[in-house]
Amino acid sequence: MDLTHRSAGEQLHALERGDVSSRELTAAHLERIDRHPEYNAVITVDHDGALAAAADADERRAAGRTGGALLGLPVTVKDSLETAGLRTTCGSPDLAGHVPARDADAVARLRAAGAVVLGKTNTPPMCQDIQTGSPLFGTTPNPHDPQRTAGGSSGGEAAAVAGRLSPLGLGSDLAGSLRLPGHYCGVHSLRPSHGIVPARGHIPRPPGWLSASDLLTVGPLARTAADLALALDVLAGPSPDDSAAWRLELPAPRHERLHEYRIGIWADDPYCRVDAETRALLDDIAKALHGTGARVDTTARPVGMAESDRLFQRLMFANSAAGAAPEAFAGEVTAAGNLPPDAASPGAAFLRARTMRHRDWLLANEEREGLRKRWAAYFGGIDVLITPAAPTAAVPDQTAVPVPERYLTVDGERRSYWDQTAWLNLAGPVRLPAATVPVGSTADGLPLGVQLIGPYLADRTVTHLAGLLARSMAEVRPGHVGNSG
């Protein structure tokens, strides 16, 4: 089989055995990118730089200087992460000519591990959408159905991995920006525990900023759970400024075998109902897990979904104000001050959260810490919680529709466009690791996945169970959709 169709781990093994050189493997991926412009996923291709890096990897391997877990492996990087000498626009016309002098910290880790950066993948302007299209590069469609969205904001990265343009991708996640595209495109994704992968060099914030949102994580997209674990080994660790004083050693998976796990299942919720096919998938998972002997709890809930989501939105809107132009922000402060006390519209909530005083943010953060305590108590008796990834499989693309006019349809019911990420937002405010895993397909052949949420810093437990679950469900639902051809 064409090596571009193999997982990252399999491609690395081929490199280690000498079955292929990095230059050959890189050239094969570059050729596939050029041959499939319809994916519109890799929007800045570094042909010369990638081939030069591949040749260097081959020389290092030939000389016995392997030193790097990803030596010679082609990868792609979301266009929100800065890359030294390679255009980084974050989909914004204002940054069309931005060529950073320095890699984002996470990109630097990939390169230090020997990875070969093929290019940058599409993202909506400033990552501010849950589907992927920009005025600079157009729309990235879903590789399984071009009339549907690839999701966002890491939609270009998910489409690149699903379309076999890249075996491993680096993206980012604030409101499901890794996990929604992973779910829609039928690939694996991991939002690591907050703080274990440095986010400096991510846009937004504006170029040159040293800080990042306290809701943002940087993480991988891949074709297997084992590839997520491989990437996590490379990415996780203290920031360069902290590395002189401490190290990170993530705990091993809590168990070895599927039947040993204690698994919670939150299959549906009145706050964000899922469609019939998604609910059927969760029911099949519960039955399969019961059949293995695993302990399954379908009733306990760590938090209230509505309460958690409202807090997440307040924190997200407050964070988003950091990059606003001074004049624009001053106008928002004035508008918020003029709101009637009883104004309760989404626009009013947005303005109040975006312009909240620091004391109000501290109170919201204290509420977040309370939610974290409740999650920790829940995980005292449960190893991993399985939830829907989204209410449905990939929805029709709406990049040409003004955002206020967009909507979601769930079993014939018209719903808010933003309901797509409500399930993913459970992990966002409380800094928990969460993965999406493709484990089924719809009657129309679209990928259908679930979300796995684990305790803080139990990232290896999440990726391990993701692999076990994917293999178990492949037996229950043989032939489910994975990657696009």
Joined tokens for residue 41:
């996923």
Going by C-alpha positions, the residue among 191, 130, 125, 183 that lies closest to residue 158 is: 183
Strand partners, 131: none
Phi then psi dihedrals of residue 444, to 5 deg: -85, 0
CA torsion 439-445-446-449 (nearest 10°) is -10
Burial state string for 157-172 with b = 16 or more CB within 10 A and e = fewer than 16: bbbbbbbbbbbbbbbb
Q: Where are the beta strands (DSSP E) in 109-241?
A: 116-121, 133-134, 138-139, 141-142, 145-149, 168-173, 188-191, 217-222
- State the Cα–Cα distance between residues 54 and 114, nearest whole angstrom: 9
Residues contacting residue 204 through CB under 8 Å, at least 6 positions apart? 80, 90, 126, 127, 213, 320, 322, 323
Going by C-alpha positions, the residue among 264, 253, 302, 227 that lies closest to residue 457 is: 253
Q: 409-418 contacts: CB < 8 A, separation 24 or more?
A: 410/273, 410/274, 410/275, 411/275, 411/276, 413/273, 415/391, 417/130, 418/130
Helices 305-320 + 358-378 axis angle, to 10? 140
CA torsion 183-185-188-193 (nearest 10°) is -50
Q: Which helix (H) or strand (E) holds 76?
A: strand 74-78
Residues recognised as catalytic? 78, 153, 177
